[in-house]
């Protein structure tokens, strides 16, 4: 079977590598010149790596870690202790450390008890309020999708301070929006994993660039199995045969048509909507995609002439737009550069910042950063890089979860993969990996039913 996959982000690469390994011919069409989607990296004119985002991998990412391990890439990460370090102007740096020798959920609750920005009363209220997700299950969490996390938090008596000092930051890190915007389901899903699995909060970063450590090796394997990953090839539209209810090809922007027995959209939801034929909008399945809108976010790297934060782990910040950041020269061994810092920031919420000119944006980030780390005022900023992503992961707003589509579409030979599709994890690299695996299952079920053989015969 020949499968055409649009998009080389994590979900598309999982579909391609898995199907290639099972003897299918795969062709990946990627519109950009670099693979990896929102987890991509490329070199700038000086040869320095520019990353599309700061990418954190958790111990809870079983599907992704299993996938990479199966393909000889299990040694890709630099693991950090399970600790969330918060930087704030008022409190300096303070951490929630998961205590390794305690069982779940006591390991996390003990960490909260030692977190100095909260009062004892806040901690007790938080401990009591979190009992519900700690002893709840995914079905309880799913039912909380009708309200914002902030509403859920306050309704459970946990108070404003823990929202301001911890949970807004967590929501920003997960979905690039504050806790009063995102659905309670989002934050509770993360907490459920942390409360039930000892290794879930362990965090890792790629040892260096995801391009050389993950995507190029996977492309090599796919090509070794006879597949193709074609970069700089944008899918512009889909050829849909309405009477047969099947796709006849992906049309590229140079007008060429790429045909196969099955087609996978592993594009982000906003890109898929742009290329969907009008005839498909009659299906609620496709029409409902309009409810899934991307979150804007900015990734900025600031190169300094000296070490600034001195922390070999991620940093979260409360009350700024620097939701998560890290010194890449410390956390990723392949980026070490003789004692200088490469501070990489996930800047969110970004609605009001994304249109700012570069110089203004750098000043804005520098202002917030130097308030958190005054030592940065003495350092020389050598250069910066900025990546603006107006539509990143889908906005996990209250009530939106119901519109996430299954990987099997109503069109016989069209399948979807992507973090926004229906899977039990968040919009994340793990979620994208799970969606890729589910997509492969749906394709194989269609083969077993004989649906794809029929499409192949008429293609």
The footprint of ligand FAD (CB under 6 A) covers 6-12, 29-32, 37-39, 53-56, 234-235, 266-268, 271, 275, 297, 299, 346, 389, 392-393, 418-419, 427-430, 432
Provide the pairing of β-strand 92-97 with 83-88: antiparallel
Give CA–CA dist 354/181, Å, rounded.
18
Measured from the CB atom, the residue of 236 and 244 that comes closer to ligand FAD is 236
Q: How far is the CB of 442 from ligand FAD (least distance, A)?
A: 16
Q: How far is the CB of 379 from ligand FAD (least distance, A)?
A: 24
Closest CA to 252 of 31, 1, 14, 15: 31
Q: How far is the CB of 229 from ligand FAD (least distance, A)?
A: 11
- Please tell me the total number of residues recorded for the chain in this structure: 459
Q: How far is the CB of 247 from ligand FAD (least distance, A)?
A: 14
Measured from the CB atom, the residue of 86 and 379 that comes closer to ligand FAD is 86
Report the alpha-carbon angle 101-102-107, nearest 5: 115
Q: How far is the CB of 453 from ligand FAD (least distance, A)?
A: 26
Closest CA to 194 of 104, 125, 127: 104
Measured from the CB atom, the residue of 309 and 429 that comes closer to ligand FAD is 429
* Distinct helix (H) and strand (E) counts, the chain: 18, 20
Q: How far is the CB of 208 from ligand FAD (least distance, A)?
A: 16
Beta strands in 182-233 (DSSP E): 203-206, 228-231
Closest CA to 25 of 452, 454, 458: 452
Measured from the CB atom, the residue of 125 and 437 that comes closer to ligand FAD is 437
Closest-by-Cβ residue to ligand FAD is 9
Measured from the CB atom, the residue of 184 and 190 that comes closer to ligand FAD is 190
Helices 429-449 + 62-70 axis angle, to 10: 70
CA distances from 192 to 81, 132, 307, 403, 426 (A): 19, 10, 36, 22, 12
Q: Is 399 left (phi over 0), alpha (psi -120 to 50) or beta?
A: left
Q: How far is the CB of 182 from ligand FAD (least distance, A)?
A: 14
Q: Dihedral through CA 139, CA 143, CA 145, CA 151, nearest 10?
A: -120
Measured from the CB atom, the residue of 201 and 268 that comes closer to ligand FAD is 268
Q: Is residue 114 a contact partner of residue 84, using CB atoms and an 8 Å limit?
A: no
Q: Is 78 left (phi over 0), alpha (psi -120 to 50) or beta?
A: beta
Measured from the CB atom, the residue of 299 and 341 that comes closer to ligand FAD is 299
Q: Is residue 64 a contact partner of residue 206, using CB atoms and an 8 Å limit?
A: no
Measured from the CB atom, the residue of 87 and 416 that comes closer to ligand FAD is 416
Measured from the CB atom, the residue of 55 and 168 that comes closer to ligand FAD is 55
Q: How far is the CB of 437 from ligand FAD (least distance, A)?
A: 12
Measured from the CB atom, the residue of 145 and 430 that comes closer to ligand FAD is 430
Q: How far is the CB of 110 from ligand FAD (least distance, A)?
A: 25
Strand partners of residue 263: 4, 414
Q: How far is the CB of 292 from ligand FAD (least distance, A)?
A: 12
DSSP string for 2-14: EEEEE--SHHHHH
């Amino acid at each position: 079977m020949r499968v055409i996959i649009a998009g080389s982000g994590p979900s598309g690469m999982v579909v391609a590598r898995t199907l290639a390994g099972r003897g299918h011919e795969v062709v990946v069409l990627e519109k950009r010149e670099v693979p990896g989607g929102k987890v991509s990296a490329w070199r700038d004119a000086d040869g320095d790596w520019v990353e599309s985002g700061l990418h954190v991998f958790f111990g809870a990412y079983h599907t992704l870690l299993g996938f990479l391990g199966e393909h000889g890439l299990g040694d890709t990460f630099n693991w950090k202790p399970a600790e969330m370090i918060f930087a704030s102007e008022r409190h300096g740096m303070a951490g929630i450390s998961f205590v390794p020798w305690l069982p779940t959920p006591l390991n996390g609750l003990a960490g909260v008890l030692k977190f100095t920005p909260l009062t004892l009363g806040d901690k007790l209220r938080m401990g009591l309020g979190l009992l519900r997700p700690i002893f709840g299950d995914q079905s309880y969490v799913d039912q909380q999708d009708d309200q914002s996390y902030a509403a859920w938090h306050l309704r459970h008596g946990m108070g404003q301070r823990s929202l301001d000092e911890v949970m807004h930051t967590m929501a920003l890190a997960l979905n690039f929006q504050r806790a009063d915007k995102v659905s309670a389901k989002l934050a509770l899903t993360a907490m459920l994993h942390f409360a039930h699995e000892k290794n879930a909060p362990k965090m890792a970063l790629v040892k260096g660039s995801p391009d050389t450590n993950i995507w190029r090796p996977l492309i090599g394997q796919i090509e070794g199995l006879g597949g193709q990953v074609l970069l700089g090839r944008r899918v512009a539209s889909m050829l849909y045969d309405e009477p047969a209810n099947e796709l006849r090809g992906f049309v590229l922007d140079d007008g060429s048509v790429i045909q196969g027995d099955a087609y996978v959209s592993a594009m982000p939801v906003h890109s898929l909507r742009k290329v969907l034929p009008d005839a498909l909008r009659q299906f609620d399945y496709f029409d409902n995609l309009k409810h899934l809108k991307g979150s804007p976010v900015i990734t900025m790297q600031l190169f300094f002439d000296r070490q600034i934060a001195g922390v070999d782990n991620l940093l979260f910040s409360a009350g700024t737009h620097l939701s998560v950041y890290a010194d890449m020269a410390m956390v990723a061994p392949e980026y070490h550069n003789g004692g200088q810092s490469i501070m990489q920031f996930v800047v969110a919420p970004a609605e009001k910042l994304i249109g700012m000119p570069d110089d203004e944006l750098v000043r804005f980030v520098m202002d917030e950063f130097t308030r958190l780390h005054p030592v940065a005022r003495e350092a020389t900023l050598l250069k910066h890089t900025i990546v603006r992503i107006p539509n990143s992961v889908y906005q996990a707003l209250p009530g939106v979860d119901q519109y996430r589509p299954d990987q099997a579409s109503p069109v016989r030979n069209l399948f979807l993969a992507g973090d926004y599709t229906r899977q039990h994890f968040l919009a994340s690299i793990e979620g994208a990996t799970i969606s890729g695996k589910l997509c492969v299952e749906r394709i194989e079920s269609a083969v077993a039913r004989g649906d794809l053989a029929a499409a192949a015969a008429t293609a």
